[in-house]
Amino acid sequence: MKELKTQKNGSFDELNYFNAIACLLVILIHVLSLGITRLDPKSVELAAVYFPWKLAAYVVPGFLFTGAVKMALGFRSDKKVSYFRYMLRRITKIFVPYLVYVLLFYAYYIHIGWMKLDIGELFDYVIHGNIASPFYYIITVMQFYLLMPLWKLMVKHVPALVAIPSSALLTFVAFRLTPLLGVFGITYRYSDRVFPAYLFFWVVGLYAGKYYEKLTETLLKYKKSVLFCIVPAAMFSLLNLWQYRSGHFVYGTDANCMKMISDLLSIIFFLGVCLYIKESKLGTVKKVLSWIFASSFTVYLCHCLFLVISEQWVSRRSITDIGVLLVIRFAVCYTLPFLWYFVLNSAGKLIGKLKTK
């Protein structure tokens, strides 16, 4: 089997490129969301906003997929890491920064009068990840990290032929978890952020990591077929656009299952693209994507805060034109969060140098 540079040097840059692109698309989703709620559903402008907004919606499953791939690749290492040390690193690198930004959001909301200090309410925001729209991902992925020993046993002892269909079935059940619990008198509003709702993507990612050499070889060998994956994903977005514009929701609960397949096709497409970038001579593109990846977690956590601040700024100036508002949102979210990361990173490096002296 052809050895890839990816495996030769022990680096998996294509996964980093994948997450960098997904980070940019997360921002796109939140920037364009204003157009979804404000524009006339039957307008051309709405169609121009809705299509890329829906097509980009694979990003959270994509983040979970690559996280699982990296976990499974780690399982192949001879170096043993204790579960305690593993979780401590995830808590310090992921959950603690998340807590910091929850507090920043909460402080700003108190400052502008949207909220009043309430420790119980703050605790609820922390455990449910609902103070900002992208934060539910942190709550979801931490559940998968907590179950790391289970995933290790599964990958070692359960064949993919059994694990993947089983995870798909459990994910289908989780789609309707809230009404299912309601039958038994249990009220739970956050079924979209418990791990079974994304189990399929995690399990697929685990087995993709287990057989990563075969997967990457296939993606590189059948480039045209891999690139074609975006076509049915785009058609699904067009279907959703038609339903939204016409009001004929022919595919209701069925759309969840269809979305899962569409998301998987998008993941395959973008992983293939990132592998092609990895194997190409596009040095500048690689450097840019690597820098975006380095900044991606900070940008993921803070970009909605900059968005809220910009909304307050335009509100005070009575700017209401949707086109102008979207331009402002683009300008803010694709610059200030990255600048914020640059400042924090530079300050960290400076402090590190001062400590060594």
Instruction: Please tell me which residue, 188 or 92, carries the higher pLDDT value.
Output: 92
Q: Residue 5 — very low, low, confident or very high, per pLDDT cuts 50/70/90?
A: very low
Q: What is the pLDDT of residue 255?
A: 78
CA-CA distances (angstroms) from residue 278 to 4, 72, 77, 119, 274?
Answer: 10, 21, 23, 47, 6
Q: Which of 195, 218, 215 is nearest to 207 (CA)?
A: 215
243 CB contacts (<8 Å, ≥6 apart)? 249, 250, 251
Q: What is the pLDDT of residue 2?
A: 37
Q: Which of 234, 229, 298, 290 is nearest to 265 (CA)?
A: 229
State pLDDT tens for residues 244-256. 998 888 887 667 8
* DSSP letter for each residue of 109-177: HHHTTS----HHHHHHHHHHT-SSGGGHHHHHHHHHHHTHHHHHHHHHHS-HHHHHHHHHHHHHHHHTH
Q: Residue 76 — very low, low, confident or very high, per pLDDT cuts 50/70/90?
A: confident
The amino acid at 156? K
Mean pLDDT of the 149-160 span: 96
**Alpha-carbon span 231 to 200, nearest angstrom:** 22
Strand, helix or coil at 298? helix
Mean pLDDT of the 315-341 span: 95
Is residue 7 predicted with pLDDT exceeding 80? no
9-13, 191-195, 267-271 — which is least confidently predicted? Answer: 9-13
Q: Which of 286, 327, 318, 196 is nearest to 11 (CA)?
A: 286
Is residue 1 predicted with pLDDT exceeding 70? no
Residue 272 Cα to chain centre, angstroms: 18
The three-point CA angle 83-291-331 to 5° equals: 120
107 CB contacts (<8 Å, ≥6 apart)? none
Q: What is the pLDDT of residue 254?
A: 65
State pLDDT tens for residues 11-47. 799 999 999 999 999 999 999 999 999 999 999 999 9
Q: Residue 187 — very low, low, confident or very high, per pLDDT cuts 50/70/90?
A: confident
The conformation of residue 331, written as its DSSP 8-state character, comes to: H
* DSSP letter for each residue of 41-107: TTSHHHHHHHHHHHHGGGHHHHHHHHHHHHHHHHHT-S----HHHHHHHHIIIIIHHHHHHHHHHHH
State pLDDT tens for residues 102-151. 999 999 999 999 999 999 999 999 999 999 999 999 999 999 999 999 99
The three-point CA angle 34-252-264 to 5° equals: 75
Question: What Rg value do the Cα atoms of the chain yield, rounded?
Answer: 21
